[in-house]
Structure formats: C-alpha cells, structure tokens
Amino acid sequence: MHCHLSWHQALFELARGRPQAARALYDGAICPDASQAPPFFTLFDAAAFLWRWQIYGERPALAAEWPQLHAFAERHFPQAGIHFADLHAALAAAASRDDAATRRRIAELRERDRAGRLPQGPVVADLCTGAAAFARGDYAAAADLLGAALPDLPRVGGSHAQREVFEDTYVVACLKSGQYQRAGARLRQRLGRRPSARDRRWLAELPAG
C-alpha cells in the first residue's frame, strides 16, 4: 500500500499548494520505476496523479512522464478486461497522444459492454471518450460527454478520491469551454459534500452573472 498511501499524501500536497512536494512523492513512490505496488495499483495511482497535475495546470508540465506510463499500461494491461485499469490506461494513452491505442481501448470496452461482459455498463467507455476529448483540446465535447456520464460514475467503483479525477476533468472542461453555470453547479454540489480549497477557489474565479 506504500504507493497508494503516497498517492493520497501527494493529493494532500497538491491541495496545500505544494506541487513540488507532490512531485517528489510521485518520483519517489508512485511512478512505475519507484512503485513497490502491483501493476494494477501503480497504473491507477500514477495516471490519476499525472492527469490531475496536467488539468490543474501545475508547472513544470510532466508530459515526458506519460509515454513511460502508457508503455507500462500496454505491457501489463494490453487488452480491455479490468475496467478500473482500463479507465486509467485510457488516460495514459490519451495524454500520450496515442490516438490509435485510445480508440482501440474504447472499442474493446464497448464490445465488452455489448457482449454483457462489462457489469459497470457503458459509463466506462463514456468516461474514456470524454477524457480523450479533453486530451485533444475539445473541451466542449469533453464537458458534454463527461457530464452525461457523471450520474453513473459510482458504478466504476473506487473511492470518492479516485473517482473525483473525472469530476475534476468535467469541471475544468466546463471552465475551458466557457460553461460557467455548469461548472458552478458541480462545484457547489461537491462543496456540499466535502470541503475543498481548490473548489472554493474555482468557484470564486467564476465570472459574475
């Protein structure tokens, strides 16, 4: 659990506004070269950290880390089969700009759903499709796709902290596409559930009216 607990600590450091402390935890305990966890845990912790770093606009950008993680995902999870790994493998493929791998993963997930072999249903592929739209800069499409998928987000399992990466992506997609009312509604909903300095800051930065 060292990798996963370090991931929680890294999120805490990001929330405190200490990105370099968070980065040190990634380099020392979370990334594939450092993690002591099984590949499943390493993949989703590393992908969720790097994706947050990217959408939060932290600096320096960690674009060079994505290809390593994408290769790790392809080596250990070459085909769709474990939905939580597939979600994060899709993040790594999309962020690495490997469109072919991203499309293949989503197609495999949709085929598993059609065959009745994906108990979580279409939400898994829908989240991957929304994240892929975000990665290529189509923020309006990402907001629409993720917004439609969020009601079924609990079906993918994991903790609130793990699922929030997709909520965060939706919020940022709304902000980047000028859909401020949608972003504000989600932020207020989340703040009613738990405190968050980042959500309060995002809400305060929304244009009036």
pLDDT tops 70 at residue 161: yes
Among candidate residues 86, 67, 91, the one with its CA nearest the CA of residue 76: 86
User: Tens digits of per-residue pLDDT, 53-65?
Assistant: 999 999 999 999 9
Binned at pLDDT 50, 70 and 90, residue 208 comes out as: confident
Q: How confident is the model at residue 30 (pLDDT cuts 50, 70, 90)?
A: very high
Q: What is the dihedral of CA 32, 50, 138, 127, to 10 degrees?
A: 70
Q: What is the pTM of this model?
A: 0.97
> Rg (Cα) of the chain, in Å, rounded?
16
DSSP codes of every residue in 190-208: HHTTS--HHHHHHHHTSPP
Task: Return contacts of 186-189, CB within 8 angstroms, 24+ apart.
Answer: 186/150
Tracing tokens 């929030």 back to the chain, one arrives at 164
Position 145 scores a pLDDT of: 98
What pLDDT is attached to residue 209?
62
Percent of the chain with pLDDT over 90: 99
